[in-house]
């Protein structure tokens, strides 16, 4: 046992060159590597609590294997734990030396830019070994991986890329304030890569740590961390949906986040009156997908759960509007009652400017459903209110359609046809 440990320490010392740090920067880097190794092995030996049954099955599918019925609970020996710690330190990307590539006779060295295109993972590892890797390097590597990344089939090369990038992001300390959440395209591809090749638990661990430490992160505002988390959670939900080809997957992601981060403890700005939850980004995204009919959630139970959760992820000022919008697209019993009463109680002077498009869409969608339910008078009133309140946005004159019953009033069928023509003229592409 002593001899094996001695060999391990000898291998560790040979990896570090020079054996002692020569500058404060190198000393800090070594300390960061050792700390990261300890955290990784602590998490592996003593993992956090498990998810619900449906989400556990979802995780197993993402890893490409059948769900396990029973997990082993046998604790590893102290010798195995120590071996794992040493092995993690030896495999740290910061201990990797640039590989000396031997060229066969007649072959020439591939220039850096061409090598990044031909061998993106090896190129990225060389950047890490030289100490020049950055999120720009990650972006370059992902761009060269992306053409084949979104294919359905698995790839050992892409699996290796996911492991390399996860190790570098963690070892570089970019998870403390979620600094690795960069440009939209880069973050989307990175999250997709990690989820597809079984590293979703790592993303959750990074997000959980960011939520817990967002007020203690040096030089990074809590609002910045929370905004990055909103984006990361939305990309995670999208990746799940694409990989599993499941409409329910992003909703399960939202429910899992709400359990992990209760709304009263996970606000963007605890001192702010608005108190927008960190799950607001994903919840709002799913709501817009539903009300625009880009996705259809056929399961009424899951839809009801999503509707009930709106009080946790929507802002307090827009909660009533959110409920009314969702009730219009209920998969089993679409209902315009809440929306109609909300429209009648609408106060122009108190409306939120950034929600104008949502209010216009609520008027139009409500009128359409009312017409379908043959509530012609209510539909005409709703259209009149839309034209009165939003003449500039709709590009219409402020002339009001008369709703009083007169001797010369058209029949119900004529009134319905007229209302439909008006409604079609008001149908704008509003999100």
How many CB atoms sit inside 10 A of residue 111's CB?
Answer: 9
- Residue 12's pLDDT is 54
Of residues 224 and 99, more confidently modeled: 224
Per-residue confidence (pLDDT) for residue 204, from 0 to 100: 94
Q: Which residues pair with 277 in a beta bridge?
A: 267
Among 47-51, 263-267, 268-272, 383-387, which is the least confidently predicted range? Answer: 268-272
**pTM, to two decimals:** 0.68
Report the pLDDT value the prediction gives residue 271, as an integer from 0 to 100.
44
Helices 200-213, 249-260: inter-axial angle, 10-degree rounding: 40
Q: Are 355 and 319 in contact (CB under 8 A)?
A: no
pLDDT band at 221 (very low <50, low <70, confident <90, very high): confident
Give the DSSP H/E element, type plus range, for residue 335.
Answer: none
Rounded-to-integer distance, Cα 415 and Cα 249, Å = 43
CA distance 198 to 161: 12
């Amino acid at each position: 046992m002593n001899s094996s440990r001695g060999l391990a320490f000898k291998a560790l010392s040979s990896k570090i060159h020079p054996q002692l740090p020569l500058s404060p920067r190198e000393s800090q880097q070594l300390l960061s590597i050792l700390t990261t190794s300890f955290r990784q092995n602590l998490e592996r030996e003593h993992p956090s609590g498990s998810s619900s049954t449906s989400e556990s099955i979802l995780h197993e599918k993402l890893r490409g294997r059948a769900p396990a019925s029973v997990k082993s609970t046998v604790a590893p020996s102290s010798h195995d734990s120590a071996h794992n710690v040493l092995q993690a330190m030896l495999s740290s990307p910061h201990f990797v030396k640039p590989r000396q590539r031997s060229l066969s006779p007649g072959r020439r060295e591939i220039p850096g830019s061409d090598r990044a295109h031909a061998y993106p993972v090896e190129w990225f590892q060389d950047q890490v070994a030289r100490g020049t890797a950055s999120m720009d390097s990650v972006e370059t590597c992902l761009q060269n991986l992306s053409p084949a990344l979104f294919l359905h089939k698995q790839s050992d090369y892409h699996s290796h890329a996911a492991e390399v990038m996860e190790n570098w992001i963690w070892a570089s300390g970019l998870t403390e304030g979620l600094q690795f959440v960069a440009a939209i395209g880069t973050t989307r591809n990175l999250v997709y890569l990690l989820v597809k090749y079984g590293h979703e638990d790592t993303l959750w661990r990074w997000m959980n740590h960011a939520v817990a430490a967002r007020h203690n992160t040096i030089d990074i505002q809590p609002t910045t961390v929370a905004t990055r988390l909103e984006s990361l959670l939305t990309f995670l939900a999208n990746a799940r949906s694409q990989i599993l080809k499941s409409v329910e997957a992003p909703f399960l992601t939202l429910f899992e986040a709400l359990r992990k981060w209760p709304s009263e403890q996970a606000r963007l700005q605890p001192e702010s009156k608005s108190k927008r939850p960190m799950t607001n980004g994903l919840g709002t995204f799913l709501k817009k997908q539903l009300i625009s009919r880009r996705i259809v959630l056929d399961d009424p139970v899951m839809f009801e759960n999503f509707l009930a959760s709106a009080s946790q992820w929507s802002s307090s000022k827009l909660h009533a509007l959110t409920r009314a919008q969702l009730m219009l697209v209920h998969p089993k019993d679409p209902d315009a009652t809440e929306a109609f009463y909300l429209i009648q109680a609408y106060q122009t002077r108190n409306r939120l400017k950034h929600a104008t498009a949502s209010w216009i869409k609520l008027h139009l969608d409500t009128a359409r459903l009312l017409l379908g339910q043959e509530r012609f008078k209510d539909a005409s009133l709703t259209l009149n209110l839309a034209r009165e309140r939003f003449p500039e946005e709709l590009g219409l004159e402020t002339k009001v359609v008369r709703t009083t019953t007169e001797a010369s009033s058209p029949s119900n069928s004529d009134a319905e046809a007229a209302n439909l023509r008006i409604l079609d003229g008001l149908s704008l592409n509003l999100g």
